[in-house]
Amino acid sequence: MGTSRLPGFYKMRIAERLRRVAEQLELDTDELDGLGESGTLPLANADAMIENAVGVLGLPVGVGLNFLVNGEDVLIPMAVEEPSVIAAVSLAAKIARDGGGFQADADPPRMIGQVQISNLSDPPAARAALLREKHQILEAANALQPAMQARGGGAQDLEVRLLPIGANGSAEVHAVMHLLVDTQDAMFPTSPTGGSRAPPAASRSTRWRTSASPARKSRTGSRRRAGSPTPTPTARARTTRA
């Protein structure tokens, strides 16, 4: 092995990346050719999706059967590489189905974007100032995600708490602002903080945090019908292939 320090790797074309990787691993370039073979995702698309892309990995796609979720039949697509996983999942769904299937619900999709401010001469005054500007802050946040707001989501509320940092006798008090964002169906791990983009005027005393969702939970449960037998491995294979 040569080195994993490859400056400018992200700027290279995929062919050049493969050549550099082959050099470091002491391989012939043609030994890495299979990384670019895919019938579903073109290599150029993969390069646009992630950093330092060198290829595409294909996985078998199967279907989990027997699922009844909230009273509705559902087919579950699954991309896995290990045998028996889909068979086991389908069997578990069949057992749950006999007891009425799965019941699932989820909290509203609210996430938190956190901004932490230190070196404050008057923390209570800083908190009050942030709350006075609440409307303007929400407007600025929503301007970064207009499509999310158009779908009924976006920044909804703002909270500010004062947090002592350090030993009790000499604790510094930070202001911690939570921006509450309804993300709708979007995942966007950095969207509540605007992609973690700090404004030019932000000082070194401002720490921009990524998103969190401590109050957002999903719940799924099922009941097994009384008297249902526990299938043996042989029965499992026979049942799920029926």
Residues 21 and 54: beta-carbon distance below 8 Å: yes
Cα(97)–Cα(118) distance, integer angstroms: 54
Which structural domains are found in the chain, ordered by start?
9-49 (no CATH), 61-105 (no CATH), 110-213 (3.30.70.420)
**pLDDT score for 110:** 83
Q: Which backbone phi and psi does 61 adopt, to 5 degrees?
A: -115, 120
pTM score, two decimals?
Answer: 0.59
Cα(63)–Cα(66) distance, integer angstroms: 10
Structure tokens at 89: 């999942």
Cα(6)–Cα(203) distance, integer angstroms: 32
From first to last of the 242 residues of the chain, give the pLDDT tens digit. 778 888 899 899 988 988 888 888 888 877 777 776 667 788 888 889 899 998 888 788 899 999 999 999 999 999 888 889 999 999 999 999 999 999 998 888 888 888 888 888 999 999 999 999 999 999 998 998 888 888 888 888 999 999 888 776 667 899 999 988 888 877 655 555 544 444 443 444 666 665 667 767 788 888 766 666 555 544 444 444 43
Cα(144)–Cα(142) distance, integer angstroms: 5
